[in-house]
Structure 1
Amino acid sequence: MADRFDLSAPSERWLWKKATLREPTILQSFAFDEVNRHLYVLQLRRGGGDAGHLCLNKLDLAGKRLGHMYLQGFGHGVSMGVQNDPDGTVWIWTEADAKGGYGQGVTRFRFFDGAVRTREDVKVRNPIPGSTHNQPSVCMTSRRIAVRHRIDDKPRYRVWDLDAFVARDYSAPVADFPQTGAHPKAEIPFQGYALDGDHLYQLAGTAYHAKTNPPAKRGNAHISCLDIRTGELLDQQRTEAGHSLDHREPEGLAVRPHGSGARLCLGLASGPEGARRFSIYYKPRAA
């Protein structure tokens, strides 16, 4: 199991109750630029959920905000990815072309502080014709990209070689399999995923609720692992990370690539509505 993360291991706290995001809303997803030591965080703009209006934050690894962009009509921000090119160019991958608040395709673009991008000024890719709810994740270690999507309202994953995908050659995906095992209860919301080599990690759960998800029981958040070669569920574990947080809504999953010291990072939202904060915990690579 050395190439997988140990989902049963206790989570370690990394960032705690940060209030540095541009918008006062919860984080939706995040991804790392390990080359330049940056953390990118997506969140919905205030009142922009139905239209798919997002805010992209650029942070340092201490959680300090270095800049932001607005993405108008892009989607819900369930997942995102960062691509590092050999020439130093950094590309941000997100969903795009929102309909009903979720992206009908994906796109990539460069970060420019203070910029506003719209669906009209990016090149939207539609690698899975007829699909909805397209959400990308990038693994730079394996140079692959995954797109979670829905066909007939059923969630699936498709994975490609990143270079082929950039060249718009979608004809030979590495993997194509249905989503499964995100949570023991099918009705619990999906909250993010991350591709890592031959494995894909999923997050599901809800915020604390006095009746349905009381803080005394330390939440219902689960992390799971799928084998992209077979679609098999390899592991599923409940996580109590950040159980002392108020609200405690699981939001976003990302891999920080450190080789044998890689981390599977879990995002948690806390704080009152209109003044949300975010925390990030992590699990280590299995020994």
Structure 2
Amino acid sequence: MADGTTHFSRRNLLFAGGAVAAGLTAGGLSWALGAGADEQDDAGPVAAGPMAGAFDMRTGAQLLAPTPLFNATGPQSFAFDDTNGQVYVLQTVEGGIRLDGEEDPLDSGDRKTSGDMCLTRLSSSGKTLGHMYLRGFGHGISCGVEPTGQRTYIWVEGRADAESGYGRTVVRVPFKDGSVLDSSDESVRHFDPVPGSTDVSPALDLPGGRVLVSHEEDGVHRFSVYGTADFLEGRFDAAQTLRAGVQVKQEEWFQGCALYGDHVYVLTGGPYTGKSGDNPRKSGGNTYVSAIDVRTGKAQGRHHVTVAPDLVYREPEGIAVSMAGGRPALCIGFSVKAQDRRELALYRFTA
């Protein structure tokens, strides 16, 4: 959410180190792309077209009308539990509430810096089915949902940086309605696949049995792909590691990522500005979905998303793949303004 704090400037800087060349790591061993690939990467992101990876971005349709979440703040990311027909949505905790163990209510700025998040569970029609608070975890740029028997596990960032409020590790915790969970709780297991990295956030590819970790390392924004079983066993030899800058422009705001099939999908953009601003409504917005091939590290499609131009505010917030009905759909979330809160709207794009 664009709020005038330093949090968004950090997103903006994520791509600064990787805006020219693409790097790829296979099986934990670094290797260089061929000359032809280097020449393409130096040319910058590929031209916008109808396809982003496997998805036709002309097929946009509303999946969920603007829907309130448990807190009044805007959504940050979402993920699907297609087994149970549910959507889980992360947002920062709103100001003015007091959680268990707190002496006084905290304002929204303190919540963001502390990495305090609210997780809302929605039905496919947008009805609130439950919530929990994740205190000290992060900002919620992306997340994953793993239904397992009677439990549903949430994959999120953890151990929020004390200055930025963004996570430094990956955690997998069970959803427990109405609970307040601290990142420092002894029940929380932290995975640290790239020690020393910052702005860490995970996403899941359930059909492919893979974990995607977005992270910044040495000033470069990277995406690393792991087998889920290996990841849970603490084996962090990435199958692939990609630089974001092969496809995304340096000045763009990172708003989430997803992994499906042969591609990492990256969402960027900001809210509408006034007529004299750099992103007025008449421009169609600055939301883009870009795809990177995990096998080669090359750009594989980039699309200017102009769906739902009349949404009030319309800030892109989160990207995920749904497999409902057995057909994959790439879904984009928008934060929209209601009278006294922000709400989530979802749009889907099919292959």
1:61 shift after superposition: 0.4
Q: Which residue does the alignment assign to 1:57?
A: 120
The share of aligned pairs that are identical, in percent, is 37
RMSD: 1.8
Partners of 1:182 and 1:204 within 8 A in 2? no
- CA separation of 1:71/1:273 partners in 2, compared to 1, >3 Å: closer, same or farther? farther
Give distance in 2, aligned partners of 1:236 and 1:3.
Answer: 8
Q: How does 1:192-211 map to 2 (within 5 A)?
A: 192-210=256-274, 211=277
Q: Report the TM-score, using the length of structure 1 for normalisation.
A: 0.93
| Match among 30, 40, 59 for residue 78 of structure 2 | 30
Q: How does 1:254-273 map to 2 (within 5 A)?
A: 254-258=320-324, 261-271=327-337
Give distance in 1, aligned partners of 2:180 and 2:197.
Answer: 26
**1:105 counterpart = 2:158:** no
1:258 shift after superposition: 3.9
Q: Which residue does the alignment assign to 1:16?
A: 65
1:273 shift after superposition: 8.2
* Cα-to-partner distance string for 1:17-42 (whole Å, 9 max, x where unaligned): 212x0111110000001111111000
1:266 alignment partner, SS class: strand
Partners of 2:72 and 2:341 within 8 A in 1? yes
Q: How many residue pairs get matched?
A: 280
Give distance in 2, aligned partners of 1:107 and 1:250.
Answer: 24
Partners of 2:52 and 2:289 within 8 A in 1? no
1:45 shift after superposition: 0.8
| Match among 160, 165, 173 for residue 238 of structure 2 | 173
Q: Which residue does the alignment assign to 1:6?
A: 56
Q: Which residue does the alignment assign to 1:118?
A: 182
Q: Whose radius of gyration is greater, 1 or 2?
A: 2
User: Which amino acid in the other structure matches residue 239 of structure 2?
Assistant: V
Q: Which residue does the alignment assign to 1:149?
A: 215
Q: Which residue does the alignment assign to 2:286?
A: 220
User: Which amino acid in the other structure matches residue 71 of structure 2?
Assistant: E
Q: Which residue does the alignment assign to 2:98?
A: none
Give distance in 2, aligned partners of 1:272 and 1:207.
Answer: 14
Q: Which has the higher helix share?
A: 2
- CA separation of 1:89/1:3 partners in 2, compared to 1, >3 Å: closer, same or farther? farther
Give distance in 2, aligned partners of 1:155 and 1:117.
Answer: 29
**1:189 counterpart = 2:253:** yes
Q: Report the TM-score, using the length of structure 2 for normalisation.
A: 0.76
Give distance in 2, aligned partners of 1:42 and 1:246.
Answer: 20
* Cα-to-partner distance string for 1:91-127 (whole Å, 9 max, x where unaligned): 1100000002100101001111111111111111111
1:225 alignment partner, SS class: strand
Give distance in 1, aligned partners of 2:230 and 2:290.
Answer: 28
Q: Which residue does the alignment assign to 1:41?
A: 89
Partners of 1:181 and 1:224 within 8 A in 2? no
* Larger relative contact order (CA 8 Å, sep ≥ 6): 2
Partners of 2:199 and 2:216 within 8 A in 1? yes
**1:162 counterpart = 2:228:** yes
Partners of 2:53 and 2:300 within 8 A in 1? no
Partners of 1:245 and 1:270 within 8 A in 2? yes
Q: Which has the higher strand share?
A: 1
Partners of 1:242 and 1:268 within 8 A in 2? no
1:3 shift after superposition: 7.9
- CA separation of 1:143/1:266 partners in 2, compared to 1, >3 Å: closer, same or farther? same
- CA separation of 1:241/1:182 partners in 2, compared to 1, >3 Å: closer, same or farther? farther
1:200 alignment partner, SS class: strand
Show structure 2 runs of 5+ residues with no match. Answer: 1-50, 95-107
1:180 alignment partner, SS class: helix
